[in-house]
Amino acid sequence: MSMRCECKAFVKVKWNKKKDYWFFERKRLEHNHPLHPSPSVTQYLRLKKNKDPIVMEVVDQMHRCDASHNTTVNVLSELYGGRQNFTFTEMDLRNRKAAAAREERENDIPKLLEFFSEMKGQNEYFYYEVQVDEQNVIKNVFWSHASQRAEYRDFGDVVTFDTTYKTNVYSMPLAMFVGSNHQLQNVVFGQALLQDEQANTFEWLFRAFQNCMTGSRDPRCILTDQDSAMAAAIQKVFKKTQHRLCRWHMLKKYRWELRKLYKLHDGLNIKLLTVINHPLTPTEFEAAWKELVDEYGLQKDDTIKGLWDSRHLWVAAYFKPLYCGRMTSTQRSESVNKMIKSSGFTGHMTCMSKFARRMLDFIQRTNHAAAGETHWSQVKK
């Protein structure tokens, strides 16, 4: 009986143990209130749920596009005229999304290879390479679309290389070869998902990149962070390439030590950055550095010594003989990494096959933006 409106309606069910069946012992069906529950109540009843196939297809499309749960619910609220009119619950939507994610991850590697075969069928210049372990399980995979290979032929003199995380469900590092085009826009020459960041893994990846770009020369210059495994692999594979270190990462490596020095020596921060960033010749840089060190008495400081000893690898003054496309850091790689993750192309729950398709979406988007820039620059002329 309902305590809220003192309704006397009820049913009493009992189980006959001897004959093994349930039966209604007593019942009272008269209600003292209308029997017209609102949709906000009936949506929780299994018999009353109505999952319109057309609406569910919209939901599935939004899930495939990685729309958030709130975004999906807000769209459906507009269609139904309010959440109270849903013929299903929000938990139903969450369960549907989870089921779709599980289905996506099933046979993920065959789906990935199927996508690569599909790309190869559409354009013979699509390239991919995989590395397997002793159990024939894929460890590393590299691929590059035809447009990316063409970009490298035109703009591959300088490459920045970096890895990033949280782009796929397997927590595999994403590695990308990034450069800049004639309009100083970021271009991606190739990408890979790696098992780890060991020297032998990078060596395999760099050789795969070389195989992909057969017919084109190795980069004149490659910029990375201070990862020793990367440096060892670059030295083995890109024998004629000048390896340079990212200026930002170099200063970040010593950030805590530099902060202590800045507190001890007033004005050191501005003067040090001026010497580093000013476009001096190597001779002028060395003279300015010596003057700075003498002024603050830092001849024996380990941090200053560390920066000085590796100066040829990261100070812009020593990049003068090289064409670096105005690049002295891996900022372009960092920018592409951020765009891929923050713009919703990939996320930490993205499976490999879906990730590869999303990377194609990203490449098509950047190509479209580049074409727009080219068009408008020509119109203005």
**What's the mean pLDDT in 106-128?**
93
44-76 tens-digit pLDDT? 666 667 778 888 999 898 888 878 889 999 999
pLDDT of residue 272: 92
Reported as type and span, the H/E element at residue 98 is helix 90-105
- Residue 355 and residue 363: Cα distance in Å, rounded? 12
Q: What are the φ/ψ torsions at residue 189 (nearest 5 degrees)? A: -90, -25
- Residue 355 and residue 193: Cα distance in Å, rounded? 10
SS3 category, 38 = coil
Side by side, the strands of the sheet bearing 158-164 are 127-132, 138-144, 186-193, 174-180, 158-164, 221-224, 242-245
Q: Distances in Å between the alpha carbon of 380 and those of 226, 367, 368, 376?
A: 43, 20, 19, 6
User: How many residues in total does the chain contain?
Assistant: 381
235-244 tens-digit pLDDT? 999 999 999 9
Asked if residue 125 lies in contact with residue 146, where contact means CB atoms within 8 angstroms, the answer is yes
The alpha carbon of residue 106 and the mean position of all alpha carbons in its chain are separated, in whole angstroms, by 21
Mean pLDDT for the chain overall? 87
Asked if residue 156 lies in contact with residue 187, where contact means CB atoms within 8 angstroms, the answer is no
pLDDT at 93 over 60: yes
pLDDT of residue 52: 83
286-344 tens-digit pLDDT? 999 999 999 999 999 999 999 999 999 988 888 877 777 667 777 788 788 787 877 76
Q: How confident is the model at residue 42 (pLDDT cuts 50, 70, 90)?
A: low
Q: What are the φ/ψ torsions at residue 272 (nearest 5 degrees)? A: -65, -45
This prediction's pTM: 0.77
Considering only CA atoms, which of 127, 167, 175, 120 is closest in space to residue 148?
127
Tokens of residue 362, six digits: 């990203």
